[in-house]
Amino acid sequence: MSFFTYMLRCADGSYYVGHTENLEHRISQHQHGEIEGYTQKRRPVELVWSEDFQTREQALTAESQIKNWSRIKKEALIKSDWAQLAHFSKPPSRRIPRHDVSTSSTSARDEREGEAHSSSIPRPVGVEPASSEAEMRGRDRLAPPPAIVLVRPQLGENIGKAARAMLNFGLTELRLVAPRDGWPNPSAGPAASGADIVLANATVFETVAEAVADCPHVYATTVRKRGVTKPVVTPEDAAREIRSTAAKSAILFGPERSGLESDDVAIARKIITVPINPQFQSLNLAQAVMLAVYEWSKGEALASPPTIEIEPPAPQDELDGMIAQLDAMLVTSGFFFPPDRTPVTRRMLRTLLTKPGWNSGEVRTLRGVLSSLAAPRDRS
């Protein structure tokens, strides 16, 4: 089975990047507005680029990388313009001016984005660079997603919950070091709640050193220093560093009962910790994983809850009509007493009623309430 990463050009000129196992069907869904979210309100959409991969993980990785590109880099990929892609993947100080590169469709924000993600160029599998692009070969990945390494995890349920947290925030590479109950573990699947791709691709190692052998940047998560002197960063800082390098990163999480041992922490370059209640420094494994991967996911174009348009505030005359209706009812009921306090009370009521910013429907509803109070109807 093949998996596809694809790019759509939307009606407003923006680009959408996704992945699927059935490209033709997925594009049809986008074109007919069957997928809620970004493309539904930006139709018609046009497929401008796609690439097939052998595994879903590869397709998801390519999707995550391309989503972070600036507009001009995406358009270079669409045109297979590797020279332009290489140019805008370099830091501004290292760019050689190219008079053949048009930036008319690229905003200043796009340029800044291109600079922020400029350490290397990810190239999807199957897309070969031009032979003159030898310089690009050493930089063929941009900020690869970090590997999550669970060190001597004890319960299969916790492994599954950690996998669920990973996939929620776009990560799929799980590495296990000497899991207590072996691997695979039948308890992990139900706890993962559908994050099967993470569990299926999980790799097992005997030692921490073997698990991170290909990772120049290793972070250890712990709330205790354990006598090891290491730079300490927050999850947010670590996520920013991971995104700024083209080299592979790994984040270590210790066993549920005791956390990472000093020898485990010693392998890492830095320690990740979070401000936490000193009287109760206890996070379960899945919570710790979620804190770290959520910060990393902030740079991803993940799905957000659909926004609901809020009705604009009602026109002033509608609000005045409601206030006048209430005022008349209060006069009839003898509310304004003593008389010399009436102006102050009316002013306070108007202030109270203008604070919420009622929309027209809300004003009509409240006036209906007032009408019902003024003239009760027997509905028995």
Last residue of a domain, which of 137, 165, 192?
A: 137
Q: What is the pLDDT of residues 198-224, one digit of tens each?
A: 999 899 999 999 999 999 999 999 876
In-domain check, residue 348: yes
Domain with 183 in it: 147-297
Inter-axis angle of helices 156-168 and 285-297, nearest 10 = 10
3-state class of 72 per DSSP? helix
Question: Do the domain assignments include residue 120?
Answer: yes
163 falls in which pLDDT band (50, 70, 90)?
very high
Query: Looking at the predicted structure, is the pLDDT value of residue 128 above 50?
Result: no
Residue 176 pairs in a beta bridge with 150, 204
Is the predicted pLDDT of residue 58 greater than 80, yes or no? Answer: yes
67 shares a domain with 112: yes
- Both 187 and 64 in one domain: the answer is no
Instruction: Convert the pLDDT of each residue in 187-200 to its tens digit.
Output: 999 999 989 999 99
How buried is 266 (Cβ within 10 angstroms: 0-12 exposed, 13-18 middle, 19+ buried)? middle
Query: What pLDDT does 119 receive?
Result: 36
Q: How high is the pLDDT of residue 332?
A: 86
Q: pLDDT value at position 122?
A: 43
Q: Decide which of 242 and 68 is more confident.
A: 242
Residue with the bigger pLDDT between 257 and 378: it is 257
Burial 200-231 (b: 16+ CB within 10 A, else e): eebeebeebeebbeebebbbbbbbeebebebe
Is 31 a member of any domain?
yes
Do both 289 and 323 map to the same domain?
no
Dist. CA 20–CA 36, nearest whole Å: 15
Least confident range from 57-71, 73-87, 116-130: namely: 116-130
Instruction: List the beta strands (DSSP E) in the chain.
Output: 3-9, 15-20, 46-53, 147-151, 174-177, 203-205, 217-221, 232-233, 249-253, 270-272
End-to-end CA distance of the chain: 66
HSE, CB side, 13 Å, CA atoms: give it for residue 65: 27
Residue where a domain terminates, one of 297, 327, 359: 297
Question: What local confidence, expressed as pLDDT, does residue 96 receive?
Answer: 58
Domain shared by 110 and 7, yes or no: yes
Residue 204 lies in a domain: yes
Q: Give the model's pLDDT for residue 110.
A: 39
Report the helix count and the strand count for the chain, using DSSP H and E.
16, 10
CA 56 to chain centre: 19
Task: Assign 94 a pLDDT band (cuts: 50, 70, 90).
Answer: low
Query: Is residue 380, in this structure, part of any structural domain at all?
Result: no
Q: Are residues 162 and 249 in the same domain?
A: yes
Whether residue 308 lies inside any domain: the answer is: no
- In this structure, the answer to whether residues 131 and 174 fall within a common structural domain is no
pLDDT of 301 reads: 60
Please count the other Cβ atoms lying within 10 Å of the Cβ belonging to residue 196: 14
**Looking at residue 239, which CATH number applies to its domain?**
3.40.1280.10
Task: Clarify whether residues 166 and 271 are in a common domain.
Answer: yes
Instruction: Work out the burial of residue 123: count CB atoms within 10 Å of its CB; fewer than 13 is exposed, 13-18 middle, 19 or more buried.
Output: buried
DSSP annotation of 20: E
| pLDDT computed for residue 304 by the predictor | 56
Q: Which of 81-90, 183-192, 275-284, 305-314 tops mean pLDDT?
A: 183-192
In a domain, 16, yes or no: yes
- Regarding whether 291 and 336 lie in a shared domain, the answer is no
Pair (31, 93) in one structural domain: yes
Tell if the pTM clears 0.95, that is, is over it. no
Task: Show which of 297, 325, 343 is a domain's final residue.
Answer: 297
pLDDT at 57 over 90: no
In the predicted structure, residue 54 carries a pLDDT above the cut 70? yes
The answer to whether residue 311 is domain-embedded is no
Compare 211 and 138 and report the one with higher pLDDT: 211
> Tell me, what's the pLDDT at 90?
60
Q: Is the pLDDT of residue 65 over 90?
A: no
Q: How many domains does the chain have?
A: 3
**Do 16 and 77 contact (CB within 8 A), yes or no?**
no
Residue 109 confidence (pLDDT) above 60:
no
Q: Does position 250 have pLDDT exceeding 60, yes or no?
A: yes
20 and 130, same domain (yes or no): yes
pLDDT for res 127: 38
One domain for residues 110 and 200: no
- Rounded CA gap, 181 and 156, in Å? 8
Residue 329 and residue 230 share a domain: no
The candidate with the shortest Cα–Cα distance to 150, out of 193, 118, 181, 108, is 181
